[in-house]
Structure 1
Amino acid sequence: MSEFTVRGKFQARDGWQKFETSIDAENENVAEERTYTNFGSQHGVKRTQLEIEEVEAQ
């Protein structure tokens, strides 16, 4: 497993908020899916309210 840094923005109550998070995953696609899953479960953000701009391997 590799570590990926995922950057993007999500729709918050007062507009779009930028984020950066580190995810352990097998590849970039899995890292992107885990980001969607984490934001959905922890913050209640739907996939349409999340824009991933960059996935970068560490």
Structure 2
Amino acid sequence: MSEFTVSGRFQARDGWQSFEKQIEAENENVAEEHILSEFGSRHGLKRTQIEVEGVDA
């Protein structure tokens, strides 16, 4: 498993909020899916409210 840095922004009450998270995953697609599910469960966001701008190894 590799470590990826996922960056982007999500829709908050005050507007769009930037984020950058590090996560261990098998590949870039799995890392992006984990971030989408984590933000959905923690912040109650739908996938349309989250924009992933980049995934770096």
TM-score by length of 2: 0.97
- In the alignment, the residues of structure 1 paired with residue 3 and residue 44 of structure 2 have an alpha-carbon distance, to the nearest angstrom, of 24
Q: Which residue of 2 aligns with 1:53?
A: 53
- In the alignment, the residues of structure 1 paired with residue 9 and residue 19 of structure 2 have an alpha-carbon distance, to the nearest angstrom, of 6
Cα deviation, 1:9-49, whole Å, max 9, x if unaligned, reads 00000100000001110000000000000000111111000
Report the aligned-residue RMSD. 0.4
Identity, % of aligned positions: 70
Q: What is the aligned residue count?
A: 57
Runs of 4+ residues over 4 Å off in structure 1: none
TM-score by length of 1: 0.96
Q: How does 1:8-19 map to 2 (within 5 A)?
A: 8-19=8-19
Q: 5+ unaligned residues in a row in structure 1: which ranges?
A: none
